[in-house]
Each structure stands twice: as structure tokens, then as C-alpha cells.
């Protein structure tokens, strides 16, 4: 009986292990740069509770790499992230780690390659009884492919600091060999390795070694016993080093790199769009997982943060914290003997932005000349002035928050304060407003005994300015508030509330200007609910009092409602005094209940109780984008519901609000695809059902698709438009198809992306 139990347990354990390895195989088969993050989480979710499972995973990754050497960089990145997350195990006195198993695999494959190469050479000389000449050639090709794949992986792992420099030198020496004429396969592998790691390993400390390698490679490149192909490869490697590891075919390579860099920056922008306090850790990891393999990517990330933070000032503390964490994790690079780091690039960018703000302030205060009047209308000039002022104030706030995180030095803060004070003349109003904002942000930290003399000097000048009748009352009161703040040991009279979670939404990028400005900030029904990022204007007093309430002509209202006024009718309330979070949560609850009960009347009643028609486009936006994570049945129900609400209950959901909601969905579709790759397919199916029900026309949808994305035409250029339209056409039933196409007046060719291969589903209909 005991033996049977043991056999059963062994058999069960074997089945569980096979299931795990099968799951790994399925995940690795799907691995692409686009779904990297998702599949990485799936691997982590597998129960890796023993060294055997870990070995199996390493073996599978290794086999995939050798069969797909062009994806070595991606697999190396995958290994790098797994290495930091997967558990370690012990077998006797040995510690078993993912990294150790991977290194052992690389070493075994490297040594195996040498043995197989010797056997192949021997077989060529003596012949093998069981193999034909063609079979021997095929075997040699496979051996060569595995060897080159392994070498490329070794190089990429070294770049990720998973293998040491000592191991690289051992590999180089092995491949160069001691013979006068090494094996050609070894030399080919050597050139691949050098092109992969050369820029990193060729530093001052190992210059003598590198010089020795390349002296020998130069000799071999003139060895007529070697094939011309290998000699040219050696010469290319030598030229690469002479050119500071920059490839000769600069134009072609630069184009590829630009495309790759563009994809990275788009991915980073999508991540930053979603940044909220609750998603901070998750999105921080996503940024870290982006392949920051060059200074250009780092600079692009810094640029994106500096573009966002100044126009979203209530999020400056969040962005500063994000920057601080990134500075600890992101790699450093060397360029022309200069150390390039995220922190250094951020400081340089901040300085440029600050100086740019000074120039803008000078321009703002210049008298209008005839040339300026010709180029800009008065309204355009006023709008540009407001934008420049908002950005300048936002940047000053961000600079202060960075200082609080030790990302900028105290010396830089004193420099900024002196610049804003303008020691030798009366400062501009904008400079003084920025000064007050900066000092209110950093005052408590920078006002210590060592800098007391400087702070006293600043406050004395501010005291004088606060009594300057040439300055507006608003500015003079701001200066007095700062003086009082210091007297009160930098303690606010009333605590300042930070931004609520509702302020942090993906679609906030629709309306950055709504987050800072004058009292006349309006609810734009042409933007989704999540874009309505509302805050007390920095220009109104008290600037550092209770930011949770805003004084308006209506009295004291919470910030979520005091600003909810129609663009054309500032006095007309569009949304009742209900927290905007509740609107979102109630609409989500309503659709969940509908999926369960399928009661249209109940949904209708819920919408009417909200009594917020201007919120309806956002409701459509939320329902459709959330449906991408539901099953097909729920999406079918949603399509029918939207049709019913628009046609049978026209007073519940107007057609114009439905179309505006669809516009929101298409506007954010590029970002949505990152989390839901099948979003174009699902959206196409939903839209097709609306078109067949005559709620919207194919022509209208076509126009929305053309306008959709980050900017008009971007959905077409990325191939997303073709995917959406192709799925619409593929869903429309045959008996509707011809009539719908005829009435739409659409030219399907205009939805083709630059590369037709991306739009196979649409191409089928174009050919038909």
C-alpha cells in the first residue's frame, strides 16, 4: 500500500512539473517586445517551488534563444528581469539561482560548440559512415547557428551585467585561439561578440588587452588561407573600433534606431499618461523594464517628464518622487569621457527650461511692435502669454520638489531665487509670483542656520517689494504671505490638500491647460471625464492657504465643482454637486449589473438619476474601454445596450454624446493597445453592430478613425486604423455589407498604413 502511495505521489509530481514546463513553453512562444511586461508577470505567477522547475525554465529560454538569435537582446532583457524576481534554492551545499543556471548553460553550450566543431571538421576530413554529405552540411549549419546564437546571448547578458568582464575576455581568447589560422566559425563568432560588447568592454583599463586582440585580428584579416567572407568580417570589426564602435552604414542603422527609439518613447509616454499614486510602483517597474540601452532613450524620458510636469503642477510632487526613484535605478552611460546619468540630464534640462522661462518673461513684458502685431492677433498673443506663464510656474514648482528629493543642489536653488528677485531692478510680476511659489515649496528646508544670511537678504528685499505701490495688490499680498509664512516657521495656517486620485487619470493628457490658470476654467464636454483635472488656480489668493476650497463668484465651493461650468455659458451648471468619482463608479456599477441582470430599464433609470448629460460621452468611453477586458458575450451586450439607449431611449443617451464617446475611445486607442492588444478587434466588432443598427454610419466612423489617435492620421500610420476598419467590415453581415459600403463613400485605400503587410485584414476587402 505504501509503495502505491509513493508511486502516486511521484506520478502526480511529474504531471505537475510537466504542466509547469508546458505553461512556460506557451508563454515563451508568445514573447514579443509588445507583450513583454504581460508575459513576464505570467512567468512569475507560475509556482516555481523547486530547482527542477527553475532548470526547466532556463533550458526552455536557452533553446528559444538559440533558435531565434535575432531576439537575443529581448531574451537577455527577459532573463535580467527574471533574475531579480525568481526564488533561489539549495541542493546540499550548493545554492541554485536563475543566474547561476543560466551561466552554466552558456558555458556548456560554448564548450559543446567547440566539441561539435572539432567533430564536424573530423567528419569532413574522414567522412562519417552514417551521414551523407548533405546531412553533414546541415549538421554543420545547425552547429554554427547555435554557436552564433549562444555568443550573441553571452554578449547581451554581459551588457545586462549578468556575466562578468573576465568571462568575456576568456571567450575572446578562446575564439581567437593560439593557432596561426583559427577556425572560421570561431572568428565569425568573435566578430559577432565584438560587435555586441565592444563599446562597453573597450575602456581604458583593458586597452592593452583590446589592442592585443585587434593586432591579432588585423594579422588574420590579411591571411589568405581564410575565406574572403571571414576576412571582411574581421576588417569590419577593426573599422568599427576605429570609428569608436559606430557602424559604417550610419544612415540605415540610424533609421532603424530612430524607429526603435520612437517605439520606446511612445511606450514611455503611454506609461506616464497613466501615472497615479496608486499605480506608482507598477508603472515605475514598467519604465525600468524599458530597454534603456543608450543615452538618447534616457534623454527622451527626461524630456517627456519635463514636458508633462510643468503643465500638470498639482502632480509635481508625484513626478519628483518618480524622478528620484528612477535616478537610483536607471543606468549611466559614457560619452566622450563624460558620465551621463538620468539625474544629470534632468538637472541640465531643468536649467534650460528655467532660462527659457526667463526669455519668455522678457518677451511678455516687451512693448508690442508692429511686426509682432502682424504675426499675432491680440487674442493669440494673450493665449500664448497665459500658456507661457502657466508653464513657467509649473516648472518652478517642479524644481522645488526636485530639490526636496535631493535631485537638485541648494546652490541651484539660491541661483534661481536671485534670478527671480532681480537684485538690481524691480522684478517682473511673473518672476515674483514664481519666486513666492518656489519659496513656499522649499522654504522649510532651505532656511537653516548656514543659509540664514542669504534667506534674510531675500526676505528683506521681498519686504521692500511688498510695499511697492507700483506692483499689483495680488503680488504684494503674495509677498506678504511668504513673509508671514517664514515668521510662522514655514507652517501653513491651514494644511494644503494634495491632489485626489480622480486628478490622476490616463486621459488627463487631453487638457493639461485645465490644471492651472485663471478662475474661468470650464468643463469641456468635448473631453472625457477623466481629462477634467481641476485645481485651484495659482494666481488667486490666498496662494498657500486652504487649497481645498476656491473662492468664486458663487461662494466657496469644493474644487471638483466650483469650476464645472460650460465653455459658452460660464454661469450654467452642467454637473450637479456629486463627487466626480461617484459618477465614474456608478456608471461602472451600472454596466456590471447590466451584464448580470440584462435589464435595460434599470440602466436607463441609473443614467437618469445621475442627471449629468455632459458626462455621457465619458460614460460611453468608460464602458467601451472597460469592455476590452470582458468576454465576447459582454461586448455583444454592450453594443446592444448602446444601440437601445440611443434609438429607443433617445432622451437617455443622445446620438451626439454617443459619437463623442467613440471619439474619446479612438483618441486614446494607441495607449489602450499597450494593455489590451486586441482592442482594435473588439472595438471593430462593437462599431459594426452599431453601424448595422443604423445608429451611426460607416462614413462617420471612418472620419472618426482618420481623426483618432494622438494626432489626426496617427491611427492610419500605425496600422491601427486598418485593424479597426478591417474588423468592422469583417463583422458586418453579408446582407448589409454592399449597401453599407455604398452609402459610406469611404475609400478603403486611405486607411492603409505605410506598410500594407500590417493590414492584411483590410487588404482582403480592398482586393474584393
Please report the DSSP string for 170-203 in residue order: HHHHHHH-SSSS--HHHHHHHHHHHHHHHHHH-S
pLDDT of residue 657: 92
Query: How far apart, in whole angstroms, are the C-alpha atoms of residue 386 and residue 365?
Result: 13
List C-alpha distances in Å: 749 to 40, 702, 726, 741: 38, 12, 12, 13
pLDDT in tens, 222-236: 888 888 788 888 998
Percentage helix, strand, coil for the chain under 3-state DSSP, each rounded to 5: 70, 5, 25
pLDDT of residue 254: 59
Nearest to 535 by CA among 561, 553, 556: 561
Cell of 481: 504671505
Helices (H) and strands (E) in the chain, counts: 34, 6
3-state secondary structure of 333: strand
Beta bridge partners of 557: 550
Grouping H, G, I as helix, E, B as strand and the rest as coil, residue 563 is coil
For residues 333 and 200, give the distance between their C-alpha atoms in angstroms, rounded to a whole number: 9
Contact 672, 626 (CB under 8 A): no
Dihedral in degrees, nearest 10, Cα atoms 731, 735, 740, 741: 80
Q: What is the pLDDT of residue 67?
A: 78
Given the C-alpha cell 468664486, which residue does it identify?
A: 552
* Segment 342-401, tens digit of pLDDT: 999 999 989 888 887 666 555 555 544 444 444 556 667 777 777 788 888 889 999 999
What does DSSP say about strands 94-96 and 89-91: parallel, antiparallel, or unpaired? Answer: antiparallel
For residue 657, which of 613, 700, 697, 622 has the smallest C-alpha distance? 613
Residue segments in the chain with a per-residue pLDDT below the cut of 70? 1-12, 113-114, 117-134, 137, 178-179, 248-257, 334-338, 357-379, 423-425, 493-581, 649-651, 735, 755-760, 767-768
Q: Which tens digits make up the pLDDT trace of 234-274?
A: 998 998 999 888 876 554 555 666 777 888 898 898 898 88
Q: According to the model, what pLDDT value does residue 582 have?
A: 72
What CATH code would you report for 578-764? 1.25.40.180
Pairwise CA distance, residues 62 & 361, whole Å: 59
pTM of the complete model beyond 0.85: no
- Quick count: other Cβ atoms within 10 Å of Cβ 561? 20
Ranges of each domain in the chain: 252-360, 578-764
Q: In the numeric block, which cell numbers belong to residue 626? A: 472597460
**pLDDT given at position 522:** 33
pLDDT of residue 373: 45
**Which residue, 683, 707, 564, 711, is CA-closest to 624?**
683
In angstroms, the CA 197 to CA 159 distance is 7
Terminal C-alpha separation, the chain: 69
- DSSP symbol at 448: S
Spell out the CATH class of 252-360: mainly alpha
Residues 6+ apart with CB under 8 A from 89: 50, 51, 54, 95, 96, 97
Residue 526 cell numbers, joined: 468635448
CA 634 to chain centroid = 30
Bridge partners, 552 (sequence order): 555
Closest CA to 730 of 742, 719, 741, 743: 741
Amino acid at each position: 500500500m505504501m509503495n502505491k502511495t509513493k508511486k502516486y505521489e511521484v506520478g502526480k509530481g511529474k504531471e505537475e512539473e510537466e504542466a509547469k514546463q508546458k505553461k512556460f513553453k506557451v508563454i515563451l512562444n508568445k514573447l514579443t517586445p509588445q507583450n513583454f511586461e504581460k508575459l513576464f508577470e505570467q512567468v512569475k505567477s507560475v509556482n516555481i517551488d523547486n530547482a527542477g522547475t527553475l532548470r526547466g525554465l532556463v533550458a526552455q529560454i536557452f533553446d528559444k534563444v538559440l533558435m531565434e538569435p535575432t531576439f537575443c537582446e529581448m531574451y537577455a532583457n527577459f532573463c535580467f528581469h527574471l533574475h531579480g524576481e525568481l526564488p533561489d534554492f539549495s541542493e546540499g551545499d550548493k545554492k541554485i539561482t536563475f543566474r547561476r543556471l543560466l551561466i552554466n548553460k552558456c558555458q556548456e553550450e560554448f564548450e559543446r560548440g567547440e566539441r561539435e566543431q572539432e567533430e564536424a571538421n573530423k567528419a569532413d576530413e574522414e567522412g562519417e559512415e552514417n551521414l551523407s554529405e548533405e546531412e553533414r552540411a546541415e549538421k554543420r549549419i545547425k552547429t554554427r547557428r547555435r554557436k552564433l546564437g549562444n555568443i550573441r546571448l553571452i554578449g547581451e547578458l554581459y551588457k545586462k551585467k549578468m556575466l562578468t568582464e573576465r568571462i568575456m575576455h576568456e571567450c575572446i581568447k578562446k575564439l581567437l585561439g593560439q593557432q596561426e589560422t583559427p577556425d572560421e566559425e570561431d572568428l565569425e563568432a568573435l566578430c559577432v561578440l565584438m560587435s555586441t560588447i565592444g563599446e562597453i568592454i573597450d575602456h581604458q583599463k583593458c586597452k592593452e588587452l583590446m589592442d592585443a586582440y585587434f593586432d591579432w585580428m588585423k594579422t588574420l584579416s590579411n591571411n589568405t588561407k581564410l575565406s574572403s567572407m571571414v576576412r571582411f568580417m574581421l576588417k569590419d570589426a577593426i573599422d568599427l573600433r576605429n570609428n569608436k564602435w559606430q557602424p559604417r552604414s550610419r544612415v540605415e542603422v540610424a533609421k532603424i534606431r530612430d524607429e526603435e527609439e520612437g517605439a520606446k518613447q511612445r511606450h514611455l509616454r503611454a506609461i506616464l499618461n497613466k501615472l497615479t499614486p496608486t499605480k506608482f510602483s507598477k508603472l515605475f517597474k514598467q519604465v525600468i523594464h524599458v530597454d534603456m540601452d543608450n543615452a538618447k532613450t534616457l534623454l527622451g524620458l527626461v524630456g517627456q517628464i519635463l514636458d508633462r510636469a510643468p503643465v500638470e503642477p498639482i502632480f509635481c510632487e508625484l513626478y519628483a518622487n518618480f524622478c528620484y526613484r528612477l535616478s537610483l535605478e536607471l543606468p549611466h552611460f559614457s560619452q566622450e569621457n563624460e558620465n551621463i546619468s538620468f539625474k544629470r540630464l534632468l538637472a541640465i534640462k531643468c536649467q534650460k527650461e528655467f532660462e527659457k522661462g526667463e526669455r519668455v518673461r522678457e518677451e511678455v513684458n516687451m512693448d508690442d511692435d508692429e511686426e509682432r502685431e502682424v504675426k499675432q492677433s491680440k487674442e493669440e498673443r494673450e493665449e500664448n502669454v497665459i500658456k507661457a506663464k502657466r508653464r513657467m510656474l509649473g516648472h518652478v514648482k517642479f524644481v522645488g520638489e526636485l530639490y526636496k528629493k535631493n535631485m537638485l543642489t541648494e546652490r541651484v536653488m539660491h541661483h534661481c531665487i536671485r534670478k527671480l528677485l532681480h537684485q538690481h531692478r524691480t522684478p517682473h510680476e511673473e518672476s515674483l509670483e514664481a519666486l513666492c511659489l518656489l519659496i513656499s515649496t522649499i522654504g522649510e528646508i532651505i532656511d537653516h542656520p548656514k543659509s540664514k544670511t542669504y534667506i534674510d537678504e531675500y526676505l528683506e528685499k521681498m519686504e521692500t517689494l511688498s510695499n511697492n505701490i507700483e506692483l499689483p495688490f495680488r503680488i504684494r499680498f503674495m509677498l506678504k504671505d511668504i513673509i508671514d509664512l517664514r515668521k510662522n516657521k514655514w507652517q501653513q495656517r491651514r494644511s494644503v490638500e494634495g491632489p485626489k486620485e480622480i486628478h490622476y487619470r490616463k486621459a488627463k493628457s487631453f487638457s493639461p491647460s485645465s490644471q492651472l490658470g485663471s478662475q474661468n476654467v470650464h468643463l469641456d464636454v468635448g473631453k472625457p471625464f477623466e481629462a477634467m483635472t481641476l485645481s485651484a488656480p495659482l494666481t488667486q489668493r490666498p496662494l498657500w492657504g486652504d487649497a481645498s476650497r476656491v473662492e468664486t463668484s458663487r461662494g466657496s465651493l469644493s474644487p471638483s465643482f466650483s469650476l464645472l461650468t460650460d465653455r459658452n455659458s460660464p454661469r450654467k451648471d452642467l454637473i450637479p454637486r456629486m463627487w466626480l468619482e461617484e459618477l465614474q463608479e456608478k456608471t461602472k456599477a451600472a454596466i456590471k449589473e447590466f451584464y448580470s441582470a440584462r435589464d435595460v430599464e434599470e440602466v436607463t433609470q441609473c443614467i437618469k438619476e445621475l442627471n449629468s448629460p455632459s458626462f455621457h460621452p465619458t460614460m460611453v468611453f468608460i464602458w467601451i474601454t472597460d469592455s476590452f477586458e470582458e468576454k465576447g458575450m459582454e461586448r455583444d451586450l454592450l453594443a446592444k445596450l448602446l444601440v437601445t439607449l440611443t434609438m429607443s431611449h433617445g432622451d437617455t443617451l443622445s446620438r451626439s454624446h454617443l459619437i463623442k464617446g467613440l471619439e474619446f475611445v479612438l483618441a486614446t486607442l494607441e495607449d489602450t493597445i499597450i494593455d489590451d492588444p486586441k482592442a482594435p478587434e473588439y472595438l471593430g466588432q462593437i462599431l459594426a453592430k452599431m453601424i448595422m443598427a443604423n445608429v451611426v454610419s460607416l462614413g462617420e466612423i471612418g472620419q472618426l478613425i482618420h481623426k483618432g489617435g494622438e494626432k489626426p492620421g496617427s491611427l492610419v500610420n500605425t496600422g491601427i486604423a486598418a485593424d479597426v476598419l478591417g474588423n468592422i467590415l469583417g463583422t458586418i453581415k453579408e446582407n448589409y455589407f454592399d449597401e453599407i459600403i455604398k452609402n459610406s463613400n469611404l475609400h478603403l485605400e486611405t486607411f492603409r498604413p505605410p506598410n500594407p503587410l500590417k493590414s492584411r485584414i483590410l487588404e482582403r476587402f480592398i482586393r474584393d
